[in-house]
Structure 1
Amino acid sequence: MATVGDVCRHVRSKNAGPYWVTFDLFFDGAENFAKYSQSPALGPDLLHRLFGADPAQVKRFSVPSLNVVKISYARTTPQGGEVERDMHRGQQFVRLLDVQLD
């Protein structure tokens, strides 16, 4: 079974303002984008399990012309809070790399 790290040439995470985090999955070609971009494995339940995100607050956008999927979720606490360990969320993508896709 393929993982996100196997089928994406680049994966990044970043702030989408002080209340949102976004992931960009750049698939390594149109074939893998077509095969995996709609995978249920990349759904709201994954973000809830990995990051504690409210599944109702997960948004997912596909950009077929770029072979990209963008997934965003509302932070559980605002950016810069007292318990913040990765203020810009630049390290969060690592948890996605080993996610197995259907």
Structure 2
Amino acid sequence: MNTVEHANLMELASVIRSKNASPFEVTFDIIFKNKSIYEVVKKNQILNKEILAELYNVSPDHILDVIYFDAANAVKFNMPRSAPHASFGETDMHSAQQHVPLQGLVLELES
């Protein structure tokens, strides 16, 4: 019988960050503390376009890709910036604060 545990992403990851991917996109990196946590997240596709879209209050097609990177125990995803880099109305020039919603994300982990 599988058991489900709930864990905050902040407890599972050693790095959660966002940064410029281009003048028009922001990229997010989540690097997990160890391979076993990463493998559970990857196996169950816990971080997917639907979950991330809901978290950022956008449609799933707004999440451009979700990449599982085994060599770093990491997940990367990209999405368009709300305004082009350094343009009028742009509020986070380096996209360094866009990861904040991820810090409150609670994941359901099946073991």
Write out aligned runs for 1:1-102 (5 A): 1-37=6-42, 38-39=45-46, 42-58=47-63, 59-102=65-108
Give aligned-pair identity as a percent.
Answer: 31
Q: SS of the counterpart of 1:85?
A: coil
- Structure 1's unaligned 5+ residue stretches are none
Question: 1:81/1:54 Cα in 2 relative to 1: closer, same or farther (>3 Å)?
Answer: farther
Aligned length: 100
The structure where strand makes up a greater share of residues is 2
TM-score normalized with structure 2 length: 0.79
Say what the alpha-carbon RMSD is for the aligned residues: 1.7
- Structure 2's unaligned 5+ residue stretches are 1-5
Give the superposition deviation at 1:35: 1.2
TM-score normalized with structure 1 length: 0.85
Instruction: Tell me which structure has the larger Cα radius of gyration.
Output: 2
